[in-house]
Amino acid sequence: MKAVNDDNTGTIQLLTHCSPQSVRDAREQIVASGALGKSVVYVQLLDYLINCALESRQPKEFDVAVGVLGRDSSFDVSRDSAVRVYIHQLRNRLDKHYKGCDSAPALQLQIPKGQNTIVAVNSQVLPQSVPAFDWHWRWLTGVLAAVVVVLAVLNLLQWSQHQPPAFARQLDASLDHAIWQTIADDDIPILLVMGDYYIVGELNERGGVARMVRDFYISSRDDLNNLFMRDAELQKHFRDLDMTYMPEGSASALMTVAPLVNATGKHYQAKMMSRVITADLRDNHIVDIWYISGLNNLFFATSSFLPGNTFDEVYDRATGQLYTSTAGLPERGEPLSSSRPVPVLKV
């Protein structure tokens, strides 16, 4: 990468183009200021990135995890975001440090966004952006659970196409219901969403996964990463396993709902709840199979129902009737169906 000169951002260059003493001085000034906090990890990470840059090396996430964070050879960059979070935190601490300086140092150290390396900035103005290196990272994501669900849905839909006439009549009767009529009477595709619980790993003193934990405030990888961004120390205790599980009751409901989705004759796809993004909600009819405890206010905000003492009880304010589920016992439960119209914004 050649030095880049910009009136707004200054001169950006590799550390190999700077004098070793000026780099050491910049490093000492940062550490002495206390900008990196009390954790020695950030100092070690800064030193590691500086050494790599001076040797013209571009460390990978795995290298940083083993060389700085003390992880072993089993470290999986697709499942553990520790390196990305620590580098993000270090980048922010460097930026905050220079913004707080009374006078901008002649040489500033900066981590370009999306990179695992240190560059030098020769300017009295802190750069607002740094040209990205021409690197392309390929993130690997564990999607085995989602693939299994999709295959299960496809198998059920295929099975429903070869059922006797009596079964077909039952489907037709169900499709005559107002809920399914609303879904079937347009060209909007259907997204079948399976509710799942996101699981994180709790680490022991040696950094290995001691147990798998379900936290009700962590429903996706983004939730976990946001938590790590707020408190990087949590990465010493928890690890992203990219693992979810689907309740047994949801699988039973899927066997009933999947043939109905197929009978609409519309384009459809299936996703786990933890994989759903905003665009999915905008572009599809959402058929969500999930416990009402997971839907919570999303459901009760537009209905006459209220939860009872637990989410195994549903109270109908309109009729005064209380419906009680068997709470997971091997008996017949109480299913609950509802629809919620979404307003369409016209521009």
> What's the order of all strands across the beta sheet hosting 209-214?
209-214, 197-203, 238-245
pTM (predicted TM-score): 0.44
Looking at the predicted structure, is the pLDDT value of residue 347 above 50? no
Q: Is residue 295 part of a domain?
A: no
**What pLDDT does residue 73 have?**
83
Q: Is residue 258 part of a domain?
A: yes
Q: What's the rounded mean pLDDT across residues 43-71?
A: 88
**What pLDDT does residue 136 have?**
37
User: Are residues 62 and 8 part of one domain?
Assistant: yes
Average of per-residue pLDDT values in the chain: 75
- Report the percent of the chain where pLDDT is more than 70: 73
Residue pointed to by tokens 């147990």: 211
Looking at the predicted structure, is the pLDDT value of residue 146 above 70? no
For residue 51, give the nearest of 62, 60, 59 by alpha carbon. Answer: 59
Q: What's the rounded mean pLDDT across residues 172-196?
A: 81
Contacts of 235 (CB under 8 A, 6+ apart): 82, 85, 86, 228
**What pLDDT does residue 127 have?**
42
Domain enclosing residue 206, as ranges:
197-245
Q: Is residue 318 part of a domain?
A: no
Looking at the predicted structure, is the pLDDT value of residue 153 above 60? no
Q: Is residue 259 part of a domain?
A: yes
Query: What 3-state class would DSSP assign to 11?
Result: strand
Assign 337 a pLDDT band (cuts: 50, 70, 90): low
Distance CA(212)–CA(15), nearest Å, equals 43
User: Are residues 82 and 34 part of one domain?
Assistant: yes
Looking at the predicted structure, is the pLDDT value of residue 328 above 70? no
Looking at the predicted structure, is the pLDDT value of residue 164 above 70? no
Q: What's the rounded mean pLDDT across residues 47-51?
A: 90
Q: Is residue 338 part of a domain?
A: no
Report pLDDT digits (tens) over 4-21.
Answer: 444 434 577 788 778 888
Distance CA(94)–CA(15), nearest Å, equals 16
Looking at the predicted structure, is the pLDDT value of residue 131 above 50? no
Report pLDDT digits (tens) over 275-293.
Answer: 888 888 888 888 888 776 6
Total domains in the fold of the chain: 3
User: Are residues 87 and 40 part of one domain?
Assistant: yes
Report pLDDT digits (tens) over 87-119.
Answer: 888 888 888 888 888 777 778 888 888 778 888
